[in-house]
Amino acid sequence: MDVISVIRTKRDRGELSDEQIDWVIDAYTRGTVADEQMSSLAMAILLNGMNRKEIARWTAAMIASGERMDFSSLSRPTADKHSTGGVGDKITLPLAPLVAACGAAVPQLSGRGLGHTGGTLDKLEAIPGWRALLSNAEMLNVLEGVGSVICAAGDGLAPADKKLYALRDVTGTVEAIPLIASSIMSKKIAEGTGSLVLDVKVGTGAFMKNLDDARELASTMVELGTDSGVRTAALLTDMSTPLGLTAGNALEVRESVEVLAGGGPADVVELTLALAREMLDAAGLKDADPAKALADGSAMDVWRRMITAQGGDPDAELPVARERHVVTAPSSGVLTRLDAYDVGVAAWRLGAGRARKEDVVQAGAGVELHAKPGDSVEAGAPLMTLHTDTPERFEYALQSVEGAFDIAPAGKDFSATPIVLDRIG
């Protein structure tokens, strides 16, 4: 087997054989196939696609590159959730303890932000003392004792994907649907969860900009999960507008705690409950009521125990940025558009995200929104507040938010986009 023949097969729109896929994934993981060769193959896949058989085999080969976890010793059924990434997407934070409060075990292996999308681990690391890195034994102990855990995937879980994702990020091949699907599902299947709910974002702030691409990605991932024995469903959800009223790390933790306390923005609560019901249904816990678990404080109890179990202090003061800049409404009327991508880029430029994996994020940086589409605004009133420790970042961030919103005259009809756009699986 040689890598040139594998590249040529896909370059010429051929179907990769099982043997070719197994070999190239193993050889790349071991370093026999060079980065420039794998980037050429990734581009050929982006341009020419893969069929269902190829994607399934590619996913299986990435799973086989590392270990597989086993949760069969747990006393609860397992349910997991994965989001394809967005702006203000703090849903994992209230969702994991909420589903655990209803009787499931939630092994939430999460990642860090890159570019305009926020990372769950970056948000939680704003909590003093909280640890993202747990051993498999620690993870199992927290799951059994608390019911939910949010942590980083270990190096042994699908190492081929870790290496390939870093390459895709710098070669313009992140958007390849076969590679997105296999990247997500190789980790989730190797993780060993019994059921999985996918939150596939659609809109300007998402990787999938339109419904057709989102449906293709969701269908591909649902098929991969189902074929591997994982009960899988997907919700297509709107990411044209940021979720909630914050985009940033500590800012989003505060908002998540508000949701767990029975408050918080309506869109965050709505999506949290929709995903919770899907997860509980997939885990065989159809009679559980997540709305009740939010209202009676049991979800908050699990949150506090989960944070404590991972070394964090749930009562600690969260970091606050040293500098603020208020963006005011230029006119009175109705806010009709607030672009998720532009807000995400502003938060990133303020220090809430990273341009490279090794960059350090600012815990207190980000964007706080004072209005959402459909709200009435007055000229000169605060529209959003920018937070950062480094005020020299304001000018660059303001370039992003200048075109991020539209205000129409009062009385103009406005129709909000629903949060959940479709369901697959």
What whole-number distance in Å separates Cα of residue 255 and Cα of residue 275? 18
What is the tens place of the pLDDT at every residue in 104-153?
A: 999 999 988 777 888 899 999 999 999 999 999 999 999 999 999 999 98
Mean pLDDT taken over the chain: 95
Percent of the chain at pLDDT > 70 equals 100
Q: Which residues are catalytic?
A: 82, 161, 168, 183, 187
Q: For residues 313-324, b (16+ Cβ closer than 10 Å) or e, as one string?
A: ebeeeebebebe
What whole-number distance in Å separates Cα of residue 402 and Cα of residue 409? 19
- At 169, the pLDDT band (50, 70, 90 cuts) reads confident
Architecture in CATH for domain 323-408 = Alpha-Beta Complex (3.90)
> Would you kindly state where each structural domain of the chain is located, as residue ranges?
3-49, 80-309, 323-408
Distances, alpha carbon 86 to alpha carbons 31, 93, 175, 201, in Å: 32, 14, 14, 7
Cβ-proximal residues to 233 (8 Å cutoff; 6+ apart), any chain: 196, 197, 198, 222, 278, 282, 423, 424, 425
What pLDDT was estimated at residue 357? Answer: 67
Q: 3-49, which class in CATH?
A: mainly alpha
Dihedral sign for Cα 360, 363, 365, 371, please.
positive
- At 284, the pLDDT band (50, 70, 90 cuts) reads very high
Q: Which of 274, 290, 373, 380 is nearest to 327 (CA)?
A: 380
What pLDDT was estimated at residue 411? Answer: 82
According to CATH, what is the number of the domain 80-309? 3.40.1030.10
pTM: predicted TM-score of the whole model, two decimal places = 0.93
